[in-house]
A = this chain, B = another copy of it.
Amino acid sequence: MSDLSHVLPPEDETLAKPARTIRDVARRAGVSIGTASKALNASGRLAADTRARVLLAAEEIEYRPNNLAQSLHRARSMTVGILSNDSFGRFTIPIVAALERRLFDDGIAVFMCNATDDPQREQRHVDQLLRKRVDGLVVTSRRADVRAEVVPAVRGLPVVYVFARIENPDALCLLPDDEGGAGLAVEHLVRLGRRRIAHITGPERFEAVRLREKGWRSALAAAGLAARDGDYRSGRWSEEWGREAARSLFMRRAQPPDALFRGNDQIARGALDALGEFGFAPPDDVAVVGFDNWDVMTAAARPPLTSVDMNLDALGSEAGASLLKMMAGRRLSGAKRLPCSLVVRDSCGAGLRNGIKKR
């Protein structure tokens, strides 16, 4: 571990190239090391042509500053750690990708830590990140849910929770506005003339499920409509549950719903498949709207599925921007919910001109 020869065979002379030092730059530019340092770090006063000469010399000899050495000076490692407990799944990935893009533009590299749901493993990850002297932490979660606080043992180290929430009001938590997103779906269906809008969704232990239900009820109330008995069903996040719930809603009732707002796209797709089986033709007979805007489901559904998009990209960018602000000394806190948007396709009947049946 302590021996350079493990990494590079001794005969390998080419390491000399990337290991050029600031001394080499100074010599080539014909300036002092202090001047070269000023130019390379964009600090202190320096004539423009001197600065240009140094930068050119650095370029010519392919000088790469050693971040490790820099970090020790600056007390900044230009690294950030991302902790996920969902093995970087479908929701985390677009967030992390946008975050990484945002931070990369500021020269910051991202450590990816998959802590799964094991608190001990998570703590070991946090310890490892602290040993790497990360400048900040981002914590994501499986389904925008409440989770335990990450206590990094370094007070003042910026931590951003994204698609995750903790109870501490001093923490910054960035979340999608599930309630508002559900409202968008219902308002759209109401505008299209639908009056009996049922809501089939996932397990109630998820905060997102409870918030979407709330949004559904509020939007119905605002439109002067009521949620009828049996029009709300909570179950699983699966196509199978979508089919099952659609069957029980449509087969046994005299007055079936004319619209379904589903808790996610898999449930919505299952419902679409099942509806066809017993003679209902979406979107004419029943309009269907999903949640998540997951391309795999929305594109393959017949008709293509209208869905609420949580704008995970925007969440990731905002997390990156917030972390940069906190690293620059600003204090940010509170649970901040970013707007969802509705992506309209054919399953809600919006594409059909005057084709909406009023019952």
Contact = CB atoms under 8 A, between A and B. Distances in A.
A265 B273 CA distance: 18
Nearest to A77: B68
A72 interface: yes
A351 to B, nearest CB: 18
Contacts of A93: 87-89, 93
A15 B156 CA distance: 8
Contact of A329 (B6, B78, B100): B6
Interface string A330-350: 000000000000000000000
A305 interface: no
Contacts of A204: none
Given A96-B112, A238-B300, A72 B62 contact: no
Contacts of A269: 300
Q: How large is the interface on A (under 10, 10 to 19, 20 to 34, 35 or more residues)?
A: 35 or more
A65 B96 CA distance: 28
A5 interface: yes
A120 interface: no
Contacts of A296: 266, 296
A318 interface: no
Interface stretch (A47-55, A126-134, A184-192): A126-134
Interface stretch (A102-110, A217-225, A226-234): A102-110
A123 interface: no
A118 to B, nearest CB: 11
Given A1-B74, A96-B88, A130-B64, A8 B156 contact: yes
Contacts of A352: none
A155 interface: yes
12 contacts: A1-B41, A1-B76, A9-B156, A12-B156, A66-B131, A66-B133, A69-B72, A87-B94, A109-B111, A111-B112, A266-B296, A266-B300
Given A6-B329, A88-B93, A296-B296, 10 more contacts: A2-B41, A6-B328, A7-B156, A8-B156, A9-B156, A66-B131, A68-B68, A87-B94, A109-B111, A112-B112
Interface of A: 1-2, 4-9, 12, 14-15, 17-18, 41, 43, 62, 64-69, 71-79, 81-82, 87-89, 93-94, 96-97, 100-101, 104, 107, 109-114, 124-125, 127-133, 135, 153-157, 238-240, 266, 269-270, 273, 296, 299-300, 327-329
